[in-house]
Amino acid sequence: MLEADYADKKVKGLCFQCDGKFRPCQRCLENSLQVMLISEDEGEEEEVGDEEQEHPHLDYVEVS
């Protein structure tokens, strides 16, 4: 979401997810599923001292 869109929705009092009127404890009518995929790069292995550090690659995917 662009900063201009965010500011516009905030001024108009709209929900950032469903564009409906925002109210406390709101539940959007249109549900969405958010999935986080975690994978480790198999080709990149480095030995750092006596400890081995892991740096997994994270992808964020939103499904609606």
Task: Give backbone dihedrals phi and psi of 24, rounded to 5 degrees, phi first.
Answer: -55, 145
Q: What average pLDDT is seen over the chain? A: 75
Cα–Cα distance, 43 to 62 (Å, whole number): 27
Q: Place 27 in a pLDDT band, splitting at 50, 70 and 90.
A: confident
Higher pLDDT: 41 or 37? It is 37
Tell me the per-residue pLDDT of 38-57, one tens digit each, with 9 for 90 and over.
887 766 555 555 555 566 67
6 vs 56, higher pLDDT: 6
